[in-house]
């Protein structure tokens, strides 16, 4: 699913074109993974990109450079935004302006995939399964163990979930009413008075990684029913656009779990969920905690815990360009539990961070962490130009 832009990280164009590590983008790493997969298996497993109208043109130009494998793509649908007050569409004609339209969430993947003709083509070619994931989840790799389990258990739809941590309290989770099918519950669907319950790590212990395995024959059979995907829960997403309150009606791809008859959720290791939603996530993947092999991120065996540390970088580092200027690189976070940085802070090269580290520069203050500094269970405040190692 390649419909997102990199605007939240201060970048222009498709998010999949942001450089993650060693001058390689999300798309570069994904292509490397599948190229290696095809080399090992001797097959030609295609990469399929669902683009939105925001990413279609740029992505189409970029994929021309890849000649090691088959890359297919299809275009996600688009719908007019709605004024919250009048419930009328923003558009004044069919063409409209760019900001007047929106892609209706990644739950649109099934209808758009079928409408593109790719579903029928792949079935004719003898393909039986699709692995669906977000392009920015660098842990979402093809795992034949999961696929074999799905086949052996005669499943039609398998969702990968993983243990919830304090960093995942807003992640969608699964619920079930008595003998009814499993349903995906997103935070946007929860009444305000129950938000605390939804975010409880004790009450809801797992969340949806959005790594989904779908049997193509079962998907095709769904389309034999009248408008099957109209039964997916709709999320009402409210935003401000051009000074107006607007509504976007969206669906989530995981919500399809309630439409299939043979479904299952599988609790997978955290390493299968490595999304990059912010520069905080990017920092973790660019540190020495991870190494790269054939496009796959592997966590260092020196780390005592299976989960990455919690990292929160402040507004000064929100944009990728600002973040890159403020971090010298080669940061050691093998033993880091939690990092918070706020204010005008610069971190040098080969800095070692351990335990819980908090660095806060008040307004008007500047903190420079020199090359080679070692911070362990430390709170740094005020204005510092030199910090002893």
**Could you give the residue numbers annotated as active site?**
277
Cβ-Cβ contacts under 8 Å for 300 (sequence gap 6 or more): 288, 289, 290, 291, 334
Exposed e or buried b per residue across 259-289, where buried means at least 16 C-beta atoms within 10 angstroms of its C-beta:
bbeebbbbebebbbbbbbebbbbbbbbbbeb
Distance CA 10, CA 343 (A): 18
Return the H-helix or E-strand segment holding 240.
strand 235-241
DSSP 53-87: TTTHHHHHHHGGG--SS-EEEEEPP-EE-EETTT-
- Exposed, middle or buried by CB within 10 Å (0-12, 13-18, 19+), for 256? buried
Conformational region of residue 40, where left means phi above 0, alpha means psi within -120 to 50, and beta covers everything else: alpha
Distance CA 104, CA 233 (A): 12
- Asked if 265 and 182 touch (Cβ cutoff 8 Å), the reply is yes
Beta carbons within 10 angstroms of residue 98's beta carbon: 7
């Amino acid at each position: 699913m390649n419909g997102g832009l990199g605007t939240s990280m201060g970048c222009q164009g498709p998010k999949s074109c942001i450089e993650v590590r060693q001058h390689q983008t999300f798309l570069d790493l994904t292509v490397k993974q599948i190229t290696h997969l095809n080399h090992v298996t001797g097959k030609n497993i295609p990469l399929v990109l669902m683009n939105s109208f925001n990413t279609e043109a740029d992505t189409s130009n970029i994929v021309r450079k890849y000649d090691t494998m088959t890359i297919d793509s299809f275009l996600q649908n688009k719908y007019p935004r709605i004024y919250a007050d009048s419930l009328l569409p923003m558009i004044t004609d069919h063409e409209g302006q760019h900001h007047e339209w929106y892609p209706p969430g990644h739950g649109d993947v099934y209808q758009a995939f079928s409408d593109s003709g790719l579903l029928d083509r792949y079935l004719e070619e003898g393909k039986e399964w699709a692995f669906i994931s977000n392009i920015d989840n660098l842990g979402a790799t093809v795992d034949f163990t999961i696929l074999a389990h799905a086949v052996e258990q005669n499943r039609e739809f398998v969702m990968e979930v993983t243990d919830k941590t304090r960093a995942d309290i807003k992640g969608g989770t699964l619920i079930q009413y008595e003998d009814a099918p499993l349903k995906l519950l997103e935070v946007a669907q929860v009444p305000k008075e129950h938000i605390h319950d939804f975010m409880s790590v004790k009450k809801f212990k797992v969340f949806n990684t959005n790594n989904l395995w779908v049997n193509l024959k079962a998907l095709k059979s769904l389309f034999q029913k009248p408008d099957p995907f109209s039964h997916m829960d709709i999320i009402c997403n409210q935003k401000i656009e051009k000074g107006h309150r607007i509504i976007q009606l969206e669906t989530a791809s995981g919500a399809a779990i309630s439409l299939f008859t043979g479904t299952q959720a599988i609790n997978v290791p955290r390493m299968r969920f490595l999304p990059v939603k912010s520069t905080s996530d990017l920092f973790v993947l660019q540190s020495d905690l991870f190494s790269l092999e054939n496009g796959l991120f592997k966590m260092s065996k020196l780390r005592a815990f299976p989960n990455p540390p919690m990292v929160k970088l402040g507004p000064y580092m929100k944009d990728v360009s600002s973040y890159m200027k403020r971090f010298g690189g080669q940061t050691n976070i093998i033993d880091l539990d939690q990092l918070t940085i706020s204010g005008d802070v610069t971190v040098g090269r080969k800095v070692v961070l351990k335990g819980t580290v908090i660095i806060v520069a008040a307004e008007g203050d500047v903190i420079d962490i020199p090359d080679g500094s070692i911070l362990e269970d430390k709170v740094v405040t005020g204005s510092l130009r030199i910090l002893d190692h």
